[in-house]
Structure formats: C-alpha cells, structure tokens
C-alpha cells in the first residue's frame, strides 16, 4: 500500500503519513488494516497528548513469526517470535518527535494466537498492539515496574477511548515483549 495520502484526521499531526506494508502472513486486506491502524494511532495521539512534527510518518510492517523472530534475534538477542517490535526513528531527548517516528513490525501467527488465547477479536488485539508499538516509538517502556505502570495506564486510557476492554485486568505488569 505504501504511503497513503489522507485527509486531516483528528488527533494526528498535519500531513501525518502511515506507510503500511504487508510482507507475509494471513492479514486482513490493506484497506482494513490501514483503517484500523489509523484509528488506533489517532486515538493514541489524542488521548496520550503525543506530539510529533507536522508531516511525520510511521512505518507499519505486517509479517509472520519467522520474520519477526529473525528481527528479534538480530536486534534484541531473543531467538523467538514476539507479537510486535518497535524501532524508534526519533531522538527521545528532543521535545517533539518526528519526522520519522519509526517502524512497528507485527507477527501474524503470534497476534492471532494471543487473541484466541484471550478470547478476543483479532482486530481488537491488533488495535492494542498498534497503540503499544506506537507508545514505544515515543519512548514509553515497560522494563521497570514504574515504567510499565505508566505505559499500561496510558494504553488502558487509549483502549477505553476506542471501546476496547482493559487487556491487563487479569494479568501482572508486562516485563518483556
């Protein structure tokens, strides 16, 4: 699908671009993916009061477990598949992020398995992971308990605004993706 021209969307910086690529996996069609991601990203910007320069862009890559496992091994020294990886493109020490926010990569099999295990719709879980991945691009993390609490609190608020139930209600804080 590549970069997509879009009308101004409430909550997003002016001329915000989503570069979407489906590389592998049984993902929904690109139009459906784009709409889901645009909605989740706009709500994260709005609720989280995230700031990025006008004309910023985010790259979303939809792939499979094999590909994300390679990335996870190369960049995080973890030889296993994971649901989402984020690769920030902005300096977290700057006041405003952008223009390249970074890349977010999703693994279909893991996302589908997790949604099934949680008994929720695939699209709802993917929306959560889009928000989660985007927050990582804005230097949110969950390696330490206080960081995890702040990140998960913001995720809960964004998801609530999207009409999605709290995914952490019955789970301990995230320690590692």
Q: Which pTM does this prediction carry?
A: 0.86
Cα separation, 171 vs 4, in Å, equals: 37
Residue with tokens 């296993």: 80
What per-residue confidence (pLDDT) applies to 2? 46
Cα separation, 118 vs 154, in Å, equals: 21
167 occurs within a structural domain: no
172 occurs within a structural domain: no
Residues near 107 by beta carbon (within 8 Å), at least 6 away in sequence: 25, 63, 64, 65, 67, 68, 69, 81, 82, 83, 84
Q: For 10-23, how does the pLDDT look when each residue is reduced to its tens digit (9 = 90+)? A: 778 888 999 999 99
64 occurs within a structural domain: yes
What per-residue confidence (pLDDT) applies to 8? 55
**DSSP letter (8 states) at residue 100:** E
174 occurs within a structural domain: no
Give me the half-sphere count of Cα atoms (radius 13 Å) on the Cβ side of residue 48. 29
40 occurs within a structural domain: yes
What per-residue confidence (pLDDT) applies to 27? 94
Phi-psi region of 25 (alpha: psi -120 to 50; beta: other; left: phi over 0): left
- Local confidence pLDDT in tens for the 177 residues of the chain: 444 444 457 778 888 999 999 999 899 999 999 999 999 999 999 999 988 888 899 999 999 999 999 999 998 889 998 999 999 987 777 777 778 899 999 999 999 999 999 889 999 999 999 999 999 998 888 766 777 788 888 999 999 999 998 887 765 544 444
Q: What is the CATH number of the domain that holds 26?
A: 3.40.390.30
176 occurs within a structural domain: no
170 occurs within a structural domain: no
Cα separation, 105 vs 72, in Å, equals: 10
Overall domain count for the chain:
1
Q: Which domain holds residue 78?
A: 2-161
98 with 13: CB under 8 angstroms?
A: yes
């Amino acid at each position: 699908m590549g970069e997509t021209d879009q009308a101004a969307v409430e909550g997003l910086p002016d001329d915000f671009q989503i570069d979407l690529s489906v590389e592998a996996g049984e993902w929904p069609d690109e139009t459906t993916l784009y709409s889901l991601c645009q909605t989740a990203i706009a709500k994260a910007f709005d609720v989280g009061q995230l700031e990025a320069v006008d004309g910023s862009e985010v790259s979303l890559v939809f792939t499979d477990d094999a590909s994300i496992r390679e990335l996870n091994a190369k960049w995080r020294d973890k030889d296993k598949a994971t649901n989402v990886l984020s690769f920030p493109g902005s300096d977290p020490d700057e006041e405003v992020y952008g223009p390249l926010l970074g890349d977010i990569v999703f693994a279909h099999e893991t996302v589908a398995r997790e949604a099934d295990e949680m008994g929720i719709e695939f699209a709802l879980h993917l929306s959560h992971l889009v928000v989660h991945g985007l927050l990582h691009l804005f230097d949110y993390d969950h390696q330490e308990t206080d960081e995890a609490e702040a990140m998960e609190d913001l995720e809960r608020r964004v998801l609530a605004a999207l009409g999605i139930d709290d995914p952490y209600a019955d789970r301990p804080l995230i320690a590692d993706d």
